[in-house]
Amino acid sequence: MALLVGITLQTWSTVILPIGLAVYWFLWIIYARTLHPLATVPGPFWASISRTWMMYRMYRGDQEIVQRKLHEQYGPLLRVAPHEVQSNDPAEIAKIYSTQRPLEKTDFYSVFRAVAIPSRPDMFTSINEKEHAVYRKLVSGVYSMSNILKNEDSVDGCVTLFVERLRGFADRNEAFDFGLWLEMYTYDVIGAVFFGKQFGFLQDSHDHGNYIAAVHKAMPFLSFIAQAPSYARGVLMATAIFVPPLLKAIIAVDNIRKTALRETADAMRRSQEDTFKRHDMISLLTAIVHQKGETEGFTRNEVTNEMWTAVMAGADSTAIALRAIFYYLMKHPAVMKKVHDEIDYYTALGVLGYPVKYNDAVKLPYLTAVVKEAMRIFPSFQASMQRYAPPEGVKVAGVLIPAGYRIGMNPGCVQYSREIFGHDAYVFRPERWLESEERSRFMDRALINFGAGTRTCTGKHLAMVETYKITVEILRNFDVEMAHDEPWTTQNATFVMQDNVICRFKRRQIR
């Protein structure tokens, strides 16, 4: 009997199971390639039968590069997973990211939630569109441009200290990691504007709390998991405990959560004690707790979650944009000279103060063209902004995407459209934004680097303020050049991180 059982188990494990799996995959491949509702949508073979194609591209960190090539090969609609398609046609933006009947986000975003904070989802990770609308209405005023500009003095403190540190590098003629320092600047801006005090990156000249290293380790891992089937995510997440660098990063990320908890508790206490009104974000959010918390279900946990999200996503995304601006300027000396000349001209006229005010900097036409072009050609977020097709389905590029299937657009593909941006869309050319106001507005409608529809980034105003201010001050005070002839390296972890931006600075005579 025991022998019979042994033979049966052996037969099952060595014969029946492999045959069963082979038959299953054979039938699945036939179905996925011929009978599946998305079978007519072109794309790589492996993508049509498994999400592992997207996981592999995320692992390699090159999905936007590969997807641009595939769109060139296959056209505007691309099958990137068995149940998911991606469009690069700007004409589809209003349909996929409608403001009238918005499609719901997919569970891709859930991976980025702070699960250890028992709160409602923040505006980035919230999936339910109705819940998001209620939540956004509650907090959007906090992120308005008028509120951000009330904190402009706090940004000025970061700008002044950053320029001081850069003078040290210039005086020593020292090559340094400019890309890292740009990120330290954006983290300190988050600290100053959201928490009411700088974290200390610039003051101490190092990665405070290893926040940057932690985020750079955690984001590729989380992005890899976000592309996996939902049933596999728990197992993949658990593997982090067996990978020491990942475990270390997760611990450091948890320290960000602890900082958010501590600062929220301090803000709640201050709100009872302070006799003057503060304008930092944590104080404004705490005020919502006191004024509407009970009726709207907005508690200190929601405040903590907003703070955590600001640190995790707000600093890195702006640093990516700043690296892109300066990298493309350094690679295009003629463009750099035009920006220098424009800043010098308006400085001589007395238009630009010290440090420059955002409302003055944003009026510089060529600088604005440079900022737009850099953010167009290298958006911070370069993954598909996935949505579920509605119950009635949605027709894209003549193909009906059935209910529940995924449809999205990758800014790193859409913003290379030759139909919108011209035959040289793959080239960094700021002048395209100055050809006419009508053409500029036309191209503006195809920019989705800050999201689209009802889900535009609430941190956009702060990102633009800190970007314009530091860009003007650096270019007004310094000549900037790469310390080597090598290109930068990039890794797409949903947000595309750049490395090898090693620079030398030389003081300029302010005209």
Q: 341-364: per-residue pLDDT in tens?
A: 999 999 999 999 999 999 999 999
Is the pLDDT score of 1 beyond 80? no
Q: What pLDDT does residue 19 have?
A: 86
Range 156-175 average pLDDT: 98
3-state class of 446 per DSSP? coil
The DSSP-derived string for 320-348 is: HHHHHHHHHHHH-HHHHHHHHHHHHHHHH
Name every residue whose Cβ is closer than 8 Å to that of residue 228 and which is 6 or more positions away in sequence: 51, 55, 236
Look up residue 394 and give its two tokens: 């949605």
Instruction: Calculate the alpha carbon distances from 507 to 181, 182, 348 in Å.
Output: 17, 18, 18
The 3-state secondary structure of 121-134 reads: CCCCCCCCHHHHHH
Instruction: Calculate the alpha carbon distances from 140 to 127, 143, 355 in Å.
Output: 17, 5, 28
C-alpha 408/C-alpha 387 separation (Å) is 6
pTM of the model: 0.94
Q: Domain spans of the chain?
A: 1-35, 36-507
Is the pLDDT score of 275 beyond 70? no
* Confidence category of residue 270, pLDDT binned at 50, 70, 90: confident
Using the Cα atoms of residue 125, residue 126, residue 129 and residue 133 in order, give the sign of their dihedral. negative
Range 124-133 average pLDDT: 88
Listed range (166-170, 266-270, 334-338) with the worst mean pLDDT: 266-270
Q: 497-506: per-residue pLDDT in tens?
A: 999 999 999 9
* Confidence category of residue 274, pLDDT binned at 50, 70, 90: low
Range 151-161 average pLDDT: 98
Give, as one character, the DSSP assignment of residue 102: P
The DSSP-derived string for 57-78 is: HHHHT-HHHHHHHHHHHH-SEE
Residue type, 374: A
Name every residue whose Cβ is closer than 8 Å to that of residue 20 and which is 6 or more positions away in sequence: none
Range 56-71 average pLDDT: 97
Using the Cα atoms of residue 405, residue 305, residue 57 and residue 427 in order, give the sign of their dihedral. positive
214 against 116, higher pLDDT? 214
Domain 36-507 in CATH 1.10.760.10: no
* Confidence category of residue 202, pLDDT binned at 50, 70, 90: very high
Contact present, 90 and 414 (Cβ < 8 Å): yes
Listed range (119-123, 142-146, 326-330, 391-395) with the worst mean pLDDT: 119-123
Percentage of the chain exceeding pLDDT 70: 96
**End-to-end Cα distance, the chain:** 96
Is the pLDDT score of 316 beyond 60? yes
Range 288-310 average pLDDT: 86
C-alpha 452/C-alpha 98 separation (Å) is 8
Is the pLDDT score of 4 beyond 50? no
* Confidence category of residue 250, pLDDT binned at 50, 70, 90: confident
Contact present, 358 and 149 (Cβ < 8 Å): yes
Average pLDDT for the chain: 92
Annotated binding site for heme: 457
C-alpha 107/C-alpha 230 separation (Å) is 8
Range 275-279 average pLDDT: 66
3-state class of 12 per DSSP? helix
Range 265-277 average pLDDT: 69
Percentage of the chain exceeding pLDDT 90: 70
Contact present, 161 and 192 (Cβ < 8 Å): no
3-state class of 411 per DSSP? helix
Contact present, 482 and 471 (Cβ < 8 Å): no
Q: What pLDDT does residue 511 have?
A: 61
Q: Strands 478-482, 406-408: parallel, antiparallel or unpaired by DSSP?
A: unpaired
Range 162-175 average pLDDT: 98
- Closest-CA residue to 439 (of 451, 422, 427): 422
Range 26-36 average pLDDT: 94
Which spans in 31-114 are helix H?
A: 45-49, 52-60, 63-74, 93-96
Residue type, 395: K
Contact present, 96 and 409 (Cβ < 8 Å): yes
Is the pLDDT score of 33 beyond 80? yes
Query: For the chain, how are helix, strand and coil distributed in percent, rounded to 5?
Result: 65, 10, 30
